[in-house]
Structure 1
Amino acid sequence: MPPRVSDVMTVEPLTLPLDATLYEAARIMRDEGIGDVLVTYAGRLCGVITDRDIVVRAVAESRDTSLTPLGDVCTAELTTVRPYDDTGTAARLMSEQAVRRLPVVDDEQRPVGIICIGDLAMADGQVGPLSEISKAPPNN
C-alpha cells in the first residue's frame, strides 16, 4: 500500500493573503529558497503563486510588483489533495493535470501542506536523478 500524502508532504506551507503583493511573495521565495507560495482568503486556499508566475504574468507585463496583489496574478484553478490520500492518487493527479506540486488541504480547504514530484520520488524509494536532486539543499 502506498504511503499517505501526510507521510511525505512538506508541512506548514508558506502562505500569503490574496491582497499581499508580488514583491512580498518574491521576498519569501528568495528568503526561504522555495518556488511557490500558497494564497489564502480568510484562511482558505484560493490560489498559488510561483516564481515563474511572477516573471511571466507580472514582470514581463511591466506590472509594478510592489503594488500588484497576488489575486491579480496567481493561479486560482487548483487541483488539491487531502493528507489522508495515498501518494498514488497524488501522482495520478500530477500526471493528469501536468503539475509538479499539489497543495494539501484539510476538509475546510485550509492549507496544511504541499507535495511535489520530488516528494513522490523519495517516497517510492526511487534511485536516480530526481530523488538525488530532491535531497539536495536549495540552490540560492
Structure 2
Amino acid sequence: MTRRIRDVMSPATAAVEPMTTVTRAARLMRERDVGDVLVAYDSDLFGVLTDRDIVLRAVADGRDPDDTPVGSVCTPPPVVTLGPEDTTDRAVELMRQHAVRRIPVVEHGGCPVGVVSLGDLAVLEDPDSPLADISRAAPDH
C-alpha cells in the first residue's frame, strides 16, 4: 500500500550543527533513543550522523570523540532525501538504490522535517514481519 512519506516518517528529528562534538551527538542519540542525528547548518541539511558512523569513522580510527566534530565523520553531502509528499514506494526505491536504512525528509529549500526508516516502512508494509516487531520493541537501556 503506497502512502505519503508525511504519514509514516518520524517527525521528531534530532539535529546538530557540523561543529558539534561526536560525544555530544552520541549523548543526544541516547537521550532521544535514536540511531542517527541530522547534521544541519542554518536549517540546511549538511549530512547524517549514524551510530555506525561514530564507530567506524571516529572510534575505530582512534579519533577523540570529545574533540571530533560531527561534520568530519558524518555521511557527507550529497545526502539522499525525500520530501513529505513523496511516496513510500519512492523511499523503498531510494533505500535499495543507495543501500541506506534511513532517509531524511526535507521541505522545499532543504529544511529537515523528519526521517523515514526501513523500520517505519516495515511496520507499514508488513506489520507481522520480524523487522516490524523489532521496530516496535522497546529499546534496551
* Aligned 8 A contact 1:3 1:123 in 2: no
Task: For residues 51-75 of structure 1, give each alpha carbon's deviation from its aligned partner in whole angstroms, at most 9, with x where no partner exists.
Answer: 1111111111111111111111111
> Match of 2:35?
35
**How far apart are 1:12 and its partner, in Å?**
2.6
> Match of 2:121?
120
Letter in 1 for 2:105: V
The whole-number CA distance in structure 2 between the counterparts of 1:92 and 1:85 is: 11
Letter in 1 for 2:86: D
> Match of 1:106?
107
The whole-number CA distance in structure 1 between the counterparts of 2:20 and 2:43 is: 13
Task: Give the % identical residues.
Answer: 46
Matches within 5 A, 1:86-105: 86-105=87-106
**How far apart are 1:139 and its partner, in Å?**
2.1
Letter in 2 for 1:69: P
**TM-score, length-scaled by structure 1:** 0.95
Task: Assess, with a 3 A threshold, how the Cα gap between structure 1 residues 33 and 12 changes in structure 2: closer, same or farther.
Answer: closer
Letter in 1 for 2:103: L
The whole-number CA distance in structure 1 between the counterparts of 2:7 and 2:140 is: 25
* Aligned 8 A contact 2:13 2:114 in 1: yes
Aligned residues: 140
Letter in 2 for 1:86: T
Segments ≥4 residues shifted beyond 6 Å: none
Aligned CA-pair RMSD: 1.1
> Match of 2:139?
138
Matches within 5 A, 1:71-82: 71-76=71-76, 77-82=78-83
Task: For residues 25-56 of structure 1, give each alpha carbon's deviation from its aligned partner in whole angstroms, at most 9, with x where no partner exists.
Answer: 11111222211100001111110111111111
Letter in 2 for 1:108: G
* Aligned 8 A contact 1:33 1:139 in 2: no
**How far apart are 1:125 and its partner, in Å?**
4.0
SS at match of 1:40: strand
